[in-house]
Structure 1
Amino acid sequence: MTSAKEISAMAGFGGFLQQVTPVVLTFNEAPNISRSLERLHCFDEVLVVDSGSTDETLKIVASFANTRVVTRPFDSFAGQWNFALREGGIQTEWALAMDADYILTDEFLAELSALGPSDNAVAYRLAFDYCIFGRKLSATLYPPIIALHRHKQVHYIQDGHCMRAQVVGTVGQLQSRVQHDDRKPLARWLASQAKYADQEAALLLSKPASELRIQDRLRTLMVITPWLVPLYCMTVGRGALDGWAGIYYALQRGVAEAVLALKLLEARLASRQEKQQHD
């Protein structure tokens, strides 16, 4: 396995890492940000776009010599990313879009250092290993995303609670995986799910069924996915092999689906009540 020190040495001799600026979005990420930044010391600069953290996040970021912080009040994930790419002062041709709970492995850094994109290559997708309290799960529902890109040729759009990178050109796939390891408190996760569910419900209700993916059509039925998703995680996703970490992940996914189902049901009942009042 290539050590972090060797990775840094490769970067110093002209590796592709020198052409990349990691960009990290933060808001009260003290439980995560140190572990993420420790894996980024081999980059010349790391841009941190903070949304007004009130915990120890910025103090931790300041302890890393290669970081630069810009602050922008949060409006949407797409808004934050477009600001970072257009107004963040990125000096390299390539940017690596990261959440504060992404951990770059030695294998990933080695692959990135040796990367030689063609002139037609605009972006690369990253796949993930999902971790629960540091334990890597056998599988995850977390999809690959476009995260490494020529930042001047990328624009982000909001899609429910997620953002998606829009590119025109060749998109490759990196083979090494990034670890996703969020260790923020459960109460914070639960509060986030309520906000995310509002956005997802609005998106699902705004589209006709014919335009929805199969999994989203199941979500609109409201009574299927809250039990089907955790069952899938434990069986097909091999969560049963991961012990308590697998159970924790399955329960998380079930709760997320249940909150979304409640939001959809709430909207349906409110619409029915409003219709009855007008009749």
Structure 2
Amino acid sequence: MTHITRISAIVLTKNEEEGLAATLRQLTCFEDLIVVDSNSDDETVSIAQSHGARVVNFTWDGQYPKKKQWSLENAGAKNKWVLLLDADEYPSSQLLAELGQLDETIEDNQNGAYDIHLSYRFAGKLLKHGHVVTKRSLLRADRAWFPEVDDLDAPGIREVEGHYQPESSAAIGHLKSRLVHDDRDPVSSWFARHNRYSDWEAHLRMNKKLREDIAAKRTWKGRVFEKVPFKPLAFFVYSYFVRRGFLDGRAGFDYSFALTAYYWQIGVKFRELARS
């Protein structure tokens, strides 16, 4: 069994009692496992502790650093290298093996971070095709950081950093295997989250400098997509046809169409803000 001693795992939580145990069971190979919790009022903390995680509480003060950067600085990780995860994310078995190999030499590693592709569960199915999200989730805390952007007055995203990648003072590597984004919540919760996210994105569009600043901090795919006209239609063609989302059946269509509607929603909200 893989045993990882030189990389710490940090899981970010807030009222995650439903799926947290399933996530933590996939992380038992990490010698240093930390849950950074935001004052949960359910059983999140007790579940984390019962699975061997150290729990550190985070209370946002309305300013920077937000939760991810705060965790890198204050969670008390024993290692410089940190795998930073949401509560519904865990490494696939292939990624655990890859991390285990990397763990053997990582103290001499000159990179500052690693990008990892996600396998996404949507509407009960783990998708194998279509749009693929990339996250910079493996970070060396003294070489990588989440930038501070001027979005404290933006709606939609509050205590956790928005949809942009951490920066690095050193080279950025890429891992071959995938993180599993195991979203088992009802689809209605996906729509509720993306309703809030679209508020944030629409706000950004009202500030050209801020929008350009955040676009520069996204992946190369995000930077390219930022400049694409007719985003909803372009995304659907890309995800469903070019990336062959249709091979995932109805769930593949639903995922592509849901994100298409998300980009449409951003546009509608932006135009409303512009009129007012």
Which TM class, normalised by the smaller chain length? 0.7 to 0.9
Unaligned runs of 5+ in 1: 1-5, 12-16, 271-279
Secondary structure of residue in 2 paired with 1:162 = coil
- CA 1:164/1:266 → structure 2, altered by over 3 Å: closer, same or farther? same
Q: Is 1:55 equivalent to 2:64 in the alignment?
A: no
Report sequence identity in percent: 29
Provide the residue aligned with 1:71 in structure 2: 57
CA distance in 2, matches of 1:97, 1:205: 31
Q: Is 1:238 equivalent to 2:244 in the alignment?
A: yes
Moved more, 33-42 or 149-158: 149-158
Q: 2:24·2:51 contact (CA, 8 Å) conserved in 1?
A: yes
Provide the residue aligned with 1:181 in structure 2: 182
Aligned 1:6-45 pairs, distance under 5 A: 6-7=1-2, 11=3, 17-45=4-32
Structure 1 residue 32, shift from structure 2 partner:
2.7
Q: 2:94·2:177 contact (CA, 8 Å) conserved in 1?
A: yes
Secondary structure of residue in 1 paired with 2:256 = helix
CA distance in 2, matches of 1:76, 1:250: 35
Secondary structure of residue in 1 paired with 2:78 = coil
Q: Is 1:109 equivalent to 2:96 in the alignment?
A: yes
- Structure with max Cα Rg: 1
Q: Is 1:215 equivalent to 2:216 in the alignment?
A: no
Which amino acid in structure 1 is aligned with residue 226 of structure 2? D
CA distance in 2, matches of 1:112, 1:119: 13
- CA 1:106/1:76 → structure 2, altered by over 3 Å: closer, same or farther? farther
Q: Deviations over 1:50-73 (max 9, x none)?
A: 1222333223223202x0111213
CA distance in 2, matches of 1:237, 1:120: 33
**More helix, by proportion:** 1
Q: Deviations over 1:166-210 (max 9, x none)?
A: 111122111111111212223322222222112212222322699
Moved more, 154-163 or 228-237: 154-163
CA distance in 1, matches of 2:101, 2:211: 43
- CA 1:102/1:54 → structure 2, altered by over 3 Å: closer, same or farther? same
Residues paired across the two proteins, number:
252
Q: Is 1:165 equivalent to 2:152 in the alignment?
A: no
Unaligned runs of 5+ in 2: 152-161, 216-222
Provide the residue aligned with 2:146 in structure 1: 156
Q: 1:122·1:168 contact (CA, 8 Å) conserved in 2?
A: yes
CA distance in 2, matches of 1:114, 1:131: 27
Structure 1 residue 76, shift from structure 2 partner:
7.9
CA distance in 2, matches of 1:58, 1:230: 39
Aligned 1:189-200 pairs, distance under 5 A: 189-200=190-201
Which amino acid in structure 1 is aligned with residue 55 of structure 2? V
CA distance in 1, matches of 2:85, 2:22: 13
Structure 1 residue 134, shift from structure 2 partner:
5.2
Q: TM-score, normalised by structure 2?
A: 0.81
Q: Is 1:255 equivalent to 2:261 in the alignment?
A: yes
CA distance in 1, matches of 2:50, 2:128: 34
Provide the residue aligned with 2:85 in structure 1: 98
CA distance in 2, matches of 1:206, 1:227: 24
- CA 1:53/1:76 → structure 2, altered by over 3 Å: closer, same or farther? farther
Q: 1:129·1:180 contact (CA, 8 Å) conserved in 2?
A: yes
- CA 1:214/1:154 → structure 2, altered by over 3 Å: closer, same or farther? closer
- CA 1:77/1:36 → structure 2, altered by over 3 Å: closer, same or farther? farther
Q: 2:130·2:256 contact (CA, 8 Å) conserved in 1?
A: no
Q: Deviations over 1:132-162 (max 9, x none)?
A: 2553323343432221122122211256732
Secondary structure of residue in 2 paired with 1:18 = coil
Which amino acid in structure 2 is aligned with residue 29 of structure 1? E
